[in-house]
Amino acid sequence: MNYTKLAGLGLTALKNNFARLDRPYKLTFSITYSCQSRCLTCNIWKMRPTGELDLREIQAFARKNDYFRWIEITGGEPFLRSDIVDIVKAFAESSKSLYVLTMPTNSLCNTDSVARRIEEILAIGIPKVSITISLDGYRELHDRIRGIPGNFDKAMAMARRLKELQSRYPNLFFVFGYTMSKFNQGMLEKTISAVKDELPWAGPDNFHVNVGQMSDIYYANKELDLRPDKDIASGEISWLVRNRGVHIGTIPIIEKAFLKKLIDYVKTGKSPMKGKSMDASLFMDSYGNVYPSIMWGRKVGSIRDTGYDLAPIWKGPDAEGVRKLISEGKEPSAWTACEAYQSIVGNIGSMII
């Protein structure tokens, strides 16, 4: 483990408790909106993206903004981009203090091809590479929600390959990402049991839970009502918290705080705390448009208009307007891991759980 990079991330997050940062340390970047899934909870797959940032543009952005400590690459399905390894290399070579890289996958691309690309990414040497395997139910339920027959079995195959890689690459971490919605409410324990039948080493510790949410700029699902029954959902999340093992370390502590605050969010529908959007983090779509978060469709600029330099956007009047709204408690209500982790560590009182 690179303790220098970890300490740098920790100190930056700690500083964010007391002062506004002059630049973000986390980037959430959708590298493509292309997706083979047909999810009931998301409409990204209905998009037909054209004119997305190409590799040359992404490399220019990485060079001019060389300070990220945490990068979340997302989609669509990120592994549909054949240049994903080069994209990661661009950020790793420019942001020398990069400590965490996170990426999801729907497991629908060729398993061998994805495993090879992940191994190439691991070999780059980023201290922590975390892969989230999307899984929203047991076999029949997951395939129905995702709209692709056989998707559950492909997710199991992906998990087996990542388990093999993990034995050779200690910087690899992976979990199953379970999006709770009205379509799978009450089915978390059954899902974990079904996975354990396939993978004897798997259990509650291998699951990360989000609650399905609506976004016009990311999921393109603003018209959908995904909300699970609040009593059922809060009960399931509480069950997960009780059944997770006791682990020492920063990430397990933050994850536990995230889940406990998720219970509050499910019960109230309100954000448990002020966010750190346009302070610790931002969201950039595959066209280079910059937003405060995946949940907030208030565009603050485009890197294509600034020569791929984020600074004019970050310091501009639109970003300041967003920060003012956040300070007044007027940001959209949401609680999703893309923004919640930096909110937790940037509001240290929330760590007292």
CATH of 21-351, one of 3.30.420.40, 3.20.20.70, 3.30.70.1450, 1.10.1370.30: 3.20.20.70
319 CA to centre of own chain: 22
Cβ neighbours, 10 Å, residue 207: 19
* Helical segments of the chain, H only: 3-15, 55-64, 84-94, 111-123, 139-146, 151-166, 188-198, 230-243, 250-268, 311-314, 317-327, 337-345
How do the domains of the chain map onto residue ranges?
A: 21-351
User: Which of 178, 192, 180 is closest to 233 using CA atoms?
Assistant: 180
135 in helix, strand or coil?
A: coil
pLDDT, tens digit only, all 353 positions of the chain:
566 877 777 778 677 887 788 899 999 999 999 999 999 999 999 988 999 999 999 999 999 999 999 999 999 999 999 999 999 999 999 999 999 999 999 999 999 999 999 999 999 999 999 999 999 999 999 999 999 999 999 999 999 999 999 999 999 999 999 999 999 999 999 999 999 999 999 999 999 999 998 888 888 888 888 989 999 999 999 999 999 987 656 677 888 899 999 999 999 999 998 888 999 999 999 999 999 999 999 999 999 999 999 999 999 999 999 999 999 989 988 898 888 888 888 886 544 44
Prediction pTM value: 0.94
